[in-house]
Chains A and B, each alone.
Chain A
């Protein structure tokens, strides 16, 4: 009886794994198609046939569309994987770097850059956003070191920080001129068009190395879900893992939003969608989150660009509108468990 059971069990597990890989491949293919469509769509008549042209349409394609789509891929995957890692580390399905206050910190840093240096000084705005996004996380981790670093403590600290920086941004808006207020508000909407090729390189430099660093820790993240003690007894250095994962998530998030502004909900919705498809094993969940996040960003961006043309609805607004009904659906579907 036993060998047969074993074979059945192993076969079943193999089938499960196979299904998950199939999901991932399917998503990757879908992402490829959506990326091509995004490259083809826009407010102008430029299309894929302009890949080789050098005239205005060629410029639009290579200098405006392609950076936009690439930035969307980077930002989507960075935010979603950061969200998944944060959820694992805090053992909270509603966690994301934004919940830890990273977005508020970035918004405050950008506002500070705008007020002190002017909205046209890009490095000041992006640099301010990045710095304060990281400062937020470092602050929370410092709090965690002083007190016991339970997930609850971190979440509460994150909420407090979020309020602090939101208030700071409001203060800057109050003290600022009309011009500065407008720039701050527009920055906070989130916008993929700001990214030039240099910005993309910098963002890629922050997001791309962090992705495999987290993927390799997938098993340990799985274990964290079972409880700190359980994980520790199975050989995981819990404190170090928590610190590393949070820093990596913060780096990816800060690297994404310092150039594009606040694009919300990707870090929350991306991992949940991925979990619905491939379950909670982070070996599959992390890459799938990246794919889902990238898809969400590209779809939102395309919708925002084309639905109300020539108005360009900022992507942050579209993701919020897409994210809220998703949340409600999530809440109502599986009442007791989120995961």
Chain B
């Protein structure tokens, strides 16, 4: 569904992505991991079309750059890392924005329904008519997720979607995304910091190190104590549990990352 080859990207004076390739198939949940500054956000933004890297990106067989923006919005939803703190509208309206690729002027019943559904799935139904600026940071992040879900796209690209959520909501959101991927064949790519979440929910993991792919594959293969030590510079203790692997950080290692 999404195929990226040999992506190179640099910010002025600072090269970030140095040849990253990745393929995404329907129904996959791919976790992009790596320390700060390795290029996770950059990679996601390139995949979403927000940045134009060197290399090729193909969406459903077509070059990403050639797809008109509105059509691309129906195929691909992007949740950036930072959600604006203030919007002069209600929560409902903020989620309704996600229907823009389908809207002409008046929202149709389908649009309203899709919005409402996303809100309900994420447990935001009671907040629907509160002002956006009145809800908490975690709730705002969920609103951003709801907006992406309302977009009803084939592909979800998310940059740290659970960073502001509490434990329970983290698990809820991740389960939801997995369910979505399974039931509707949606492809999900997300950047996470939490190794445990990645191990538990992702079907595939991508470990980035200094702008290149260090390892790729099922999480238990990619996330080994050695790989974590080399990439993150942290000693961890890996334990197997019924739900999946768990990682306990021990100390920052003496060898450089």
- Please say whether the chains A and B touch (CB closer than 8 A): yes
Q: Which of B88, B105, B117 contacts A339 (CB 8 A)?
A: B88
Q: Hey, what's the 0/1 contact readout for B63-102 against A, CB within 8 Å counting as 1?
A: 0000001111110111010111011111011100110110
> Which stretch in B44-52, B175-183, B224-232, B246-254 binds the other chain?
B44-52
Contacts of A194 in B (CB 8 A): none
Contacts of B87 in A (CB 8 A): 225-226, 280, 339
Q: Which of A223, A229, A280, A338 contacts B100 (CB 8 A)?
A: A223
Contacts of A275 in B (CB 8 A): 88
B84 touches A226 (CB 8 A): yes
Q: Hey, what's the 0/1 contact readout for A249-286 against B, CB within 8 Å counting as 1?
A: 00000000000000000000000000100011101000
Main secondary structure of the interface of A (DSSP, over half): helix
Is B103 located at the chain interface by the 8 A CB criterion?
yes
Contacts of A233 in B (CB 8 A): 48-50, 73, 76-78, 80
Q: Which of A225, A234, A336 contacts B88 (CB 8 A)?
A: A225
Q: Which of B70, B88, B119, B129 contacts A16 (CB 8 A)?
A: B129
Tell me, in angstroms, the Cα distance from A5 to B94 when the chains sit together: 18
B73 touches A235 (CB 8 A): yes
B49 touches A13 (CB 8 A): no
Contacts of A336 in B (CB 8 A): 133
Tell me, in angstroms, the Cα distance from A236 to B125 when the chains sit together: 27
Is B128 located at the chain interface by the 8 A CB criterion?
yes
A5 touches B50 (CB 8 A): no
B133 touches A230 (CB 8 A): no
Q: Which of A9, A235, A280 contacts B101 (CB 8 A)?
A: A235
- Which residues 34-60 in B have Cβ within 8 Å of A in the complex? 45, 48-50
B112 touches A234 (CB 8 A): no
Contacts of A223 in B (CB 8 A): 97, 100
Q: Give the residue name and chain of the B residue nearest to A215 (CB).
A: B105
Is B109 located at the chain interface by the 8 A CB criterion?
yes
Tell me, in angstroms, the Cα distance from A5 to B117 when the chains sit together: 9
Q: Give the residue name and chain of the B residue nearest to A237 (CB).
A: B69
B88 touches A279 (CB 8 A): yes
Contacts of A153 in B (CB 8 A): none
The listed residue with most A CB atoms (<10 A of its CB), out of B80, B82, B88, is: B88
Contacts of A10 in B (CB 8 A): 109, 112-113, 116
Q: Hey, what's the 0/1 contact readout for A1-45 against B, CB within 8 Å counting as 1?
A: 010011001101100100000000000000000000000000000
B89 touches A12 (CB 8 A): no
Contacts of A9 in B (CB 8 A): 92, 112, 115-116, 119, 125, 128
A234 touches B89 (CB 8 A): no
Contacts of B128 in A (CB 8 A): 9, 12
Q: Which of A12, A16, A232, A337 contacts B50 (CB 8 A)?
A: A232
Is A212 located at the chain interface by the 8 A CB criterion?
no
A227 touches B88 (CB 8 A): no
Q: What residues make up the interface of A, taking CB atoms closer than 8 Å to B?
A: 2, 5-6, 9-10, 12-13, 16, 91, 219-220, 222-223, 225-227, 229-230, 232-237, 275, 279-281, 283, 336-339
> Can you sample 28 A-B contacts with CB below 8 Å?
A5-B120, A5-B125, A6-B117, A9-B92, A10-B113, A222-B89, A223-B97, A223-B100, A227-B80, A229-B45, A229-B48, A229-B50, A229-B78, A229-B80, A233-B78, A233-B80, A234-B98, A235-B101, A236-B100, A275-B88, A279-B90, A279-B93, A280-B89, A281-B89, A281-B93, A283-B105, A338-B86, A339-B87
